[in-house]
Structure 1
Amino acid sequence: MKLYEVAHSRAGDKGDTVNLSLIPFNEEDYEWLKETVTPDKVKEHLKDIVKGEVTRYELPNIYSFNFVCTQSLLGGVTTSLAVDTHGKSLSSALLEMDI
């Protein structure tokens, strides 16, 4: 099963760091996703993109997660020649994760 079958995501950037929200479609899936989508698994899934640390922030009051991924944008928006300098497509890459 792919993560996009049970959740949606948005991406944001600041310098060379990208943050990825993860929000389950059903609140009942929050605890299961908490156990399944760990920072280590996200780092492994995005290993070709994320060169730094992955930190997960849990937001149980709104049944959501925020993953902060450092060293992810090839130097940042103003210094990178990458096509997706803001990392907006990384939310789609996260949702391709097998769970």
Structure 2
Amino acid sequence: MKLRELAHSRTGDKGNTLNVSVICHDPKHFDHLRRVLTPEAVKTWLADVVQGEVVRYELPNLAAFNFVLRDALGGGVTRSLALDAHGKSVSSALLGMTIESP
């Protein structure tokens, strides 16, 4: 199944760092996503974009995760030669990640 079936996303970027929040549609899926949506899995899925560290912060009261993706914007949005490879594009790519069903 695709991650977008269980969650939606919000993003923000600053310099060469990207924040991607993944928010469960239903809080009952939080524990499942905690198991399958590891920093390693996110980095592997976004390997073409993310060159640096991926850090996951858990927000259980919101049934959400915030991923900080370092070295993910080709030097920064204003320096990158990539066509719209920031925020919304990356969150859409992450929501297309194939995960196991709960």
Which band: TM-score by shorter chain? Answer: over 0.9
Q: 2:21, 2:67 within 8 Å by CA — same for their partners in 1?
A: yes
Cα RMSD over matched residues? 1.0
Runs of 4+ in 1 over 4 A off after TM superposition: none
- Given the two structures, how large is their TM-score scaled by the length of structure 2? 0.92
1:9 partner SS: strand
Change (3 A) 1:74 1:98: same
Q: Specify the alignment match of 2:31 in structure 1.
A: 31
2:92 partner SS: helix
Q: Specify the alignment match of 1:11 in structure 2.
A: 11
The Cα offsets for residues 13-62 of structure 1, whole Å up to 9 and x where unpaired, read as 01001010001100000011001100000000000000000000000111
Mapped to 1, the partners of 2:83 and 2:20 lie a distance apart of 18
* Identity between Structure 1 and Structure 2 (%): 58
Matched to 1:3, the amino acid is L
